[in-house]
Structure 1
Amino acid sequence: MRVDKVDIEKEFFGFIEGQPVYLYTLKAGHMALSVMNYGATITAIEVPDRNGQMHSVVAGFSTLEKYLQPHPYMGVIVGRFANRIADGRFTLDGKEYQLSINDSPNHLHGGDSGFDKKVWMAEDPMIGPDHCAIAFTTSSADGEEGYPGNLSIRVVYKVTEQNEVEISYHAITDKATPISLTNHSYFNLSGFQKSRILDHELSINSAFFTEKNENNTSTGRLIKCADTAQDFRLPKKLGKDIDQLVSDRGYDHNHVIEGHGFRSVAQLVDPYSGRMLEVHSDMPGAQIYTSNWWDATLIGSQGIPYEKHGAIAIETQQFPDAPNHTNFPNAILRPGETYESKTRFSFSCQAD
């Protein structure tokens, strides 16, 4: 099934403290992406299964009100720094900074009021012969959540005739600051026709993962994936070894992506629907998280409860707690530099 044409539709989604929120639906190829300017949030990605049936393959809600209630970062842009910073502290250029603590004892995904809770400004849509795109901009003041520097951020979502969703990130600052931006979508390639993703087959371009301590933050050590539950160098069902991860209740680990530049990160296949997702990025890491703490209390836009292990997030990112580990890839943006990153989600379908 193809959408009629490359196009962008805009609809009013509600108000937040007097600010209007709009939902934009980008259509191209065999897919449609819906994204709103609150949190620059992906609310739906509709792609066909092997029989041509369209379903949204990401977790989300059908109303703005549900996004204003507590939820596990569904589809949002997180930042300034994705993942955790230990004790919310880091030292930069000889000065110690204390960030907000919102995941005790740590700082998580930008803090209490991160980028996921901002009403972003939408630029005019961009429509080409084989793609369409929408850009969102926002800013973060010096001292916000404890971070140094006035930061300006621009995120571009693009959908192509090749059934790709491409996310480009750009930022500049007037003081040195840590930065790691990612989108926190959760994928269930069955379109939530099956409530869990343990039969999904995952492969990751990774031979190492970053070790965690008892506070769920990086120790600084890289651990070989071989002979552990983290080994996805060859495709493996998510349910095969997940019961080994007792303390985390499932996968919640940062993988070191092999190679440099824009390259393959992971591939996810759902044998039930035939849908396949390929992820490419220029980021050094990817957090693999299997919705271990979902408890069926949230009802998604698909009309079903979101259960434990109901979806998987593949968060391309800098390494967790990178500002506190000199052996990790640099995650500091300085004045005069431009933060630029790109992640692409490519969708296709396998025959029976």
Structure 2
Amino acid sequence: MITRSVFGTLPGGETVERIELMLANGFSAAILTWGATLQSLRSPDREGRFASVVLGYTTLDDYRNAGGRLGATMGRYANRIENGHFHLDGQDHQLQRNEGRHAIHGGPEGFDRRLWSVESILDLPDRPEVRLRLESPDGDQGFPGRLVLTVSYALKAPGDLVISYEASSDRPTVFNTTNHAYFNLAGEGSGSVLDHRFTIPADRFLPVNDELIPTGEIRNVDGTEFDFREARPLAAGIRADDPQIRLGRGYDHCYVLSENGPEPYPRLAARVEEEQSGRQLEVLTTEPGLQLHSGNVLTGRYHGASGRAYRQSDGFCLEAQHFPNAPNAAHFPSTVLRPGKPYRSITIYRLGITPSLARS
């Protein structure tokens, strides 16, 4: 089932819609046309009680004014580009900078701050889906080429949220996208996520410098606070005396996922468990990287749907994407998008109950 409603009105008079997808078992997701944003994702705990497991606001003004980019679609380039600059096919490109001397998440007016159009709605009982579309003109925030991006959100029983991306450009450009949802498996507004247990089956991660730009090194996780190959809580490492943890004010690092084949398929990138609710989240993706962000930028200034302030580590992000600053690191997987060769990617957020924490 799909319902559509008005979420708010922009200063220019444009209407922002809220589109809710729902399965017969009660699993649901609410999507906003502002930023192609995942506002709510309702899932049952081990007792069958439903709650949203992503942080979200109830007013358009909060989404427009608050930081954090809760649940939004990032672009043109998710994460950071050093000095807001890259060289492509013999030409230098200077982007608009919005994090000191660097560009992050596409610039000051990234895709998270745009009104997307509804391209299609497919109201099927076993797979409701909405597809949103955005056109980015040549020169937008300094990026070359006219780019068209579509993002579809679909639900699949019993608890999959499938996010599919497709992008094309009429000129060579660079492109990287992701969803910036903050999760809390105990329920939105329930407090810290530091007791959530994380498994990330990655052997390597990208160290950063003091401005959170990858140094170019690809480091093994052995013997570091970044080793989540065996389940462990965020609390075990987030206050460690580790230079990388200090630089990120917690975790804000990209993991290098196992290589995909010539026909990419979503493979497991992370698993998170929360004991109190019994909920489990799995992230599967075709992307080469996964950014773990421990909610370091949540300041408590804004209140969510629960009426409670979102403070540091009240949510975590698992952002499937290409590597930060890849346009300036030739040994990273390429983010170059060329005419006639569209970008396609799938990320699945799979919610359920951890078998060991299920109700007896």
Q: Distance in 2 between matches of 1:297 and 1:11?
A: 27
- Inter-CA distance 167–309: structure 2 relative to 1 (3 Å threshold): same
Deviation, 1:65, is 1.7
- Is residue 91–residue 97 contact of structure 1 (8 Å, CA) maintained in 2? yes
Q: Distance in 2 between matches of 1:106 and 1:230?
A: 25
- Is residue 138–residue 152 contact of structure 1 (8 Å, CA) maintained in 2? yes
Name the structure 1 match of 2:252.
252
Given candidates 20, 25, 42, the residue that maps to 2:20 is: 25
- Is residue 55–residue 189 contact of structure 2 (8 Å, CA) maintained in 1? no
Deviation, 1:55, is 0.8
- Is residue 30–residue 163 contact of structure 1 (8 Å, CA) maintained in 2? no
SS at match of 2:239: helix
AA of the residue aligned to 1:11:
S
AA of the residue aligned to 1:183:
N
- Is residue 105–residue 215 contact of structure 1 (8 Å, CA) maintained in 2? no
- Is residue 189–residue 305 contact of structure 2 (8 Å, CA) maintained in 1? no
Name the structure 1 match of 2:170.
174
- Is residue 30–residue 161 contact of structure 1 (8 Å, CA) maintained in 2? no
Superposed, which structure 2 residues align to 1:210-229 within 5 Å? 210-229=206-225
Given candidates 258, 267, 274, the residue that maps to 1:270 is: 274
Q: Distance in 2 between matches of 1:221 and 1:124?
A: 42
Runs (4 or more) in structure 1 with deviation over 3 Å come to none
Given candidates 310, 313, 321, the residue that maps to 1:309 is: 313
Q: Distance in 2 between matches of 1:253 and 1:30?
A: 34
Name the structure 2 match of 1:288.
292
Superposed, which structure 2 residues align to 1:90-101 within 5 Å? 90-101=86-97
AA of the residue aligned to 2:248:
D
Given candidates 70, 73, 85, the residue that maps to 1:74 is: 70
AA of the residue aligned to 1:117:
R
Note the residue ranges of structure 1 that are not aligned, 5 or more in a row. 1-6
Name the structure 2 match of 1:4.
none
- Is residue 189–residue 310 contact of structure 2 (8 Å, CA) maintained in 1? no
Note the residue ranges of structure 2 that are not aligned, 5 or more in a row. none
Deviation, 1:194, is 3.3
TM-score (norm 1): 0.96
Given candidates 90, 93, 101, the residue that maps to 1:105 is: 101
Higher share of residues assigned strand:
1
State the Cα RMSD in Å.
1.1
- Establish whether residue 15 from structure 1 lines up as the match of residue 9 from structure 2: yes
Q: Distance in 2 between matches of 1:192 and 1:136?
A: 25
Superposed, which structure 2 residues align to 1:1-352 within 5 Å? 7-16=1-10, 17-28=12-23, 29-192=25-188, 194-244=190-240, 245-260=245-260, 261=264, 262-350=266-354, 351-352=358-359
SS at match of 1:206: coil
SS at match of 1:65: helix
Q: Distance in 2 between matches of 1:117 and 1:77?
A: 9
SS at match of 1:218: coil
Q: Distance in 1 between matches of 2:94 and 2:51?
A: 43
Q: Distance in 1 between matches of 2:255 and 2:225?
A: 12
Q: Distance in 2 between matches of 1:37 and 1:331?
A: 26
Deviation, 1:64, is 1.2
- Inter-CA distance 193–349: structure 2 relative to 1 (3 Å threshold): farther
Deviation, 1:272, is 1.0
- Inter-CA distance 193–152: structure 2 relative to 1 (3 Å threshold): closer
Could you list the per-position Cα deviations for residues 127-169 of structure 1 after superposition, in whole angstroms to 9, with x for gaps in the alignment? 2241100000011111110000000111100011221100000
Could you list the per-position Cα deviations for residues 235-283 of structure 1 after superposition, in whole angstroms to 9, with x for gaps in the alignment? 1111011112223221100000113132110001101110100000000
Deviation, 1:349, is 1.2
Q: Distance in 1 between matches of 2:3 and 2:306?
A: 21
Deviation, 1:107, is 0.2
AA of the residue aligned to 2:207:
E
- Is residue 27–residue 158 contact of structure 2 (8 Å, CA) maintained in 1? no
